[in-house]
Structure 1
């Protein structure tokens, strides 16, 4: 069970605080990403839509005022969305990008963010602008939690897309299935949790690949 503590341990967990030494639950996120390009052919950012699992959505909504039972407007969820993106900033929004020369691309703060609620699940929409447009011919974007506390999975329908880059091609790679040794380590995370500085989660990254002529 998720336990509250007096110290914040946010990881995109909206209003949730977690003591990782006492519990290691997973939050499941199904996501779609739209890679954004400008008219001059440079990449300018990524637009995400992350849908949280029903159990976490129900927990996160506790105490949120709403006018209609079972329904929440964007305005009613605005404070929750703000808390969410503020928390995500510390963890680089779980989004990492590199150009074809290996250079890391740096994202700025999230913009155009909001939450909606459909079919008993919260979806966070937000855009991550690059601090400087990228003109690389190939770019790799990875989405993962370094500590493997949050489980990310591509949406089944239209998981990735391009906006403003008609000459480019986008594809994606699913995380590999854990080997027996990796599975054994994953099973031990409740007792020996990873922290945000860990690089272990990278081996289970969801990868988006963009190639341009």
Structure 2
């Protein structure tokens, strides 16, 4: 009888594990417009500027996270912190960007 109870408990546990839905992880979608600008000085190419424009929702999230003085705008120090965070996150990709 004990074996039957153990088997029943084991089957119930297995059924519970398979009946439980898997964990769901959401992937945030960020809409961005990116462009590359040429920096030209005295008729010579002196650099490249990456210009990114993000959607309102992502921009609001950045504002909430980095606006330390809560004035609803990012001052130079706050923007510098955003820049440091972005550079840190793209460093793992060796700053790769495909230009076509």
TM bucket, shorter chain: 0.5 to 0.7
In the superposition, relative to structure 1, how do residues 40 and 62 fare at CA in structure 2: closer, same or farther (>3 Å)? closer
Greater gyration radius = 2
Within the candidate set 31, 34, 44, 1:31 is matched to 34
In the superposition, relative to structure 1, how do residues 63 and 31 fare at CA in structure 2: closer, same or farther (>3 Å)? closer
What's 1:6 paired with? none
Give the distance between the partners of 1:39 and 1:46, measured in 2 at CA.
15
What is the TM-score with the length of structure 2 in the denominator?
0.56
Give the distance between the partners of 1:56 and 1:94, measured in 2 at CA.
22
Query: Which structure is higher in helix share?
Result: 2
- The alpha-carbon deviation at position 81 of structure 1 amounts to 1.4
Would the aligned equivalents of 1:66 and 1:76 in 2 still touch at CA under 8 Å? Answer: no
What's 1:51 paired with? 53
Residue segments in structure 2 that go unaligned for 5+ positions in a row: 1-23
Within the candidate set 83, 108, 111, 2:85 is matched to 83
Give the distance between the partners of 2:69 and 2:83, measured in 1 at CA.
15
Give the distance between the partners of 2:79 and 2:43, measured in 1 at CA.
36
Secondary structure of 1:71's counterpart equals coil
In the superposition, relative to structure 1, how do residues 24 and 76 fare at CA in structure 2: closer, same or farther (>3 Å)? closer
Secondary structure of 1:33's counterpart equals strand
Count of paired positions: 76
Tell me the C-alpha RMSD between the 2 structures.
2.8
In the superposition, relative to structure 1, how do residues 38 and 92 fare at CA in structure 2: closer, same or farther (>3 Å)? farther
Query: Which structure is higher in strand share?
Result: 1
What's 1:22 paired with? 25
In the superposition, relative to structure 1, how do residues 90 and 39 fare at CA in structure 2: closer, same or farther (>3 Å)? farther
Would the aligned equivalents of 1:36 and 1:44 in 2 still touch at CA under 8 Å? Answer: yes
What's 2:16 paired with? none
What is the TM-score with the length of structure 1 in the denominator?
0.30
Within the candidate set 66, 80, 87, 2:69 is matched to 66
